[in-house]
Every structure is written in C-alpha cells, then in structure tokens.
Amino acid sequence: MSGGSFFQRDRNWHPAAYTPGYKTSVTRSPQKAPISLDNTVSEMTGPVFGHDLIGETDNDLLRNFAHGGEPIGQRIIVHGRVLDETGRGVPGALLEFWQANAGGRYRHKKETYLAPLDPNFGGCGRTLTDADGSYRLRTIKPGAYPWPNGVNDWRPAHIHFSVFGHGFAQRLITQMYFEGDPLIWRCPIVATIPDRAAVERLIAPLDMNNAVPMDSRAYRFDIVLRGRRSTLFENRTEGN
C-alpha cells in the first residue's frame, strides 16, 4: 500500500491525446510533449475517503433516485476488484460511476436526445472498495445512444468509472463496455485505444455465477491502477 513512486504509465497502451477519429480531441490535445516528473510527495499522496462519505443506497442505482417506482430496463449487477499492477487489491478506493438510462438518455441539462428520461433513474452512484479491493453496484443496463461525431455514430452501451486509488498519480477515468456488443468495434472513442488487447480490458464479461435468479444478471469488471515501487533501496539522492 505505502511505498515510493508509481510505475511509469505506458502511454502507448493508453489512448494518445490526438485521435482525429474522435473529433473533439483535435482541438483539445496538447501538441507539446509532456514533461516527465518522477513522483514527489505531491503525486504520491492523494485524497482518501472514509465510509462516512457513502450512503446506504449510493451503489444501488435502482433505488438511489427512485421516485415511487422502479427504473425500467434490464436489471444488472456489476462487480469486480480494483487491483494494482502487482495484482494486489486496492482497499478503500473510491469508485464513482455514471451512465445513461435503458434508452440511452442521460439526465443532464445539455442532453437533447429524443429518447425519454426515466423518472426513477438518476444514473450516478459511488462506492468504496472492501479490504480485498472488491466492489459491487446494482443498476439497469444502459442503452446505446447517438452522438454528433460522424453523421451516424453510436456509442456502445457503457458505464463511466472514475477511480481514486491511494495517490493522485493513480487517478483514472475510464469506461466499461458489455461483452458481445457489436458497437464496440465501430466506436471512435473505443478506437482511441491503439491496442485491441487494451480495449478487451474494458469489456465486462457476462457473469452468470453472480446473477440473482429471477432478479438480475451480473457482469464482472476488474480495474487495474498503477503499481508502486518499494522504497527499500531509495536513497533519495536523485534530483538535479
């Protein structure tokens, strides 16, 4: 858990900043190389959140915005573990997630898609990982939705995840996709990731073993954060 600086990020595994197939990236991508900075205490520390932050229904999107009814859609459980690159679970990691409703409509002032809002579905939730890094949430499966990139581009069904590990250098936002969705391989945002094997890390398999019979299916989604060096042999003489 504690230790030194985080493993270097593999920027050939992550999407590049400039990915013209995703049009908005064209004017929002830095053109100059980032300056490499071995972590100082400013990057090795980060906010850690306590269980007092989390309400009873924060990880249950079937209930946390219910206004006298149940949201319409396919009831699912999403569960998994947050690990670091050494394979150890990351306890106490804050996960925040957000998504569209079953018809692909987001509850947001700037969203204008004609599919209707669901009066019992907000679309946000959060949780903290357990001692072994595991987490669980309950929701409805989001729908695909169209977006103004190409004239006929549709996002695959997805859930956004924001993750806080133990250091600010581990901060990560990503998206979870669903096994078997044919839109995944047509999506310009998915295609910002250069390596097919990396895309596959974001596709959650159907997990019937964790389904609740006559209630909800389940998907398994593990998230990997940057690993961390040991400080055992760090003499702190580097610098310039």
Partner 1 sequence: MMAQPLAYLKESPSQTAGPYVHIGCTPNYSGIEGVYAEDLGARMVDAETQGERIRIVGRVFDGVGTALKDALVEIWQADAQGLYPGPSETRGTADPHFSGFGRSPGDMTTGEFVFETIKPGKVPFKDGRPQAPHVTVWIVARGINLGLHTRMYFGDEEAANAADPVLARIEHRARVQTLIAPRTQEGDVPTYRFDIHLQGENETIFFDI
Q: Which of residues 82-111 bind partner 1 (CB under 8 A)?
A: 83-87, 96-98, 106-111
Task: Give residue for tokens 């250069």.
Answer: 194
Q: Are 84 and 90 in contact (CB under 8 A)?
A: yes
| Gap between the Cα atoms of 65 and 48, Å rounded | 26
Q: Give the Å distances, CA to CA, from 223 to 24, 80, 191, 196, 240.
A: 26, 8, 19, 17, 35
Q: How far is the CB of 199 from partner 1 (least distance, A)?
A: 7
Q: Within positions 127 to 156, which residues make up the interface with partner 1, using CB under 8 A?
A: none
Burial track 133-143 (b if 16+ CB lie within 10 A, e otherwise) = bebebbbbbbb
Binding residues among 57-86 for partner 1 as defined by CB under 8 A: 58, 64-65, 83-86
Minimum distance from residue 77 beta carbon to partner 1 (Å)? 18
Q: Does 232 engage in binding with partner 1 (CB under 8 A)?
A: no
Q: Decide if 22 is catalytic.
A: no
Tell me which of 21, 46, 91, 146 binds partner 1, using CB under 8 A.
46
* Distance between CA atoms of residues 101 and 155, nearest Å: 13
Is residue 229 a contact point for partner 1 (CB under 8 A)?
no
41 binds partner 1 (CB under 8 A): yes
Q: Which two tokens stand for residue 214?
A: 């006559």
Q: Which of 56/213 has CB closer to partner 1?
A: 56
Catalytically annotated residue among 75, 88, 136, 160:
160
> Does the footprint of partner 1 cover residue 212 (CB under 8 A)?
no
**Residues 190-209, mask of contacts with partner 1 (x by CB under 8 A):** x-xx----xx-xx-------
Does position 160 interact with partner 1 (CB under 8 A)? The reply is yes
Q: Report d(CA 170, CA 228) in Å as an integer.
A: 10
Closest to partner 1 by CB, 18 or 211: 18
CB 125 within 8 A of CB 48: no
Parallel/antiparallel/unpaired status of strands 172-178 and 203-204:
parallel
Which residues are known to be catalytic? 106, 145, 155, 158, 160
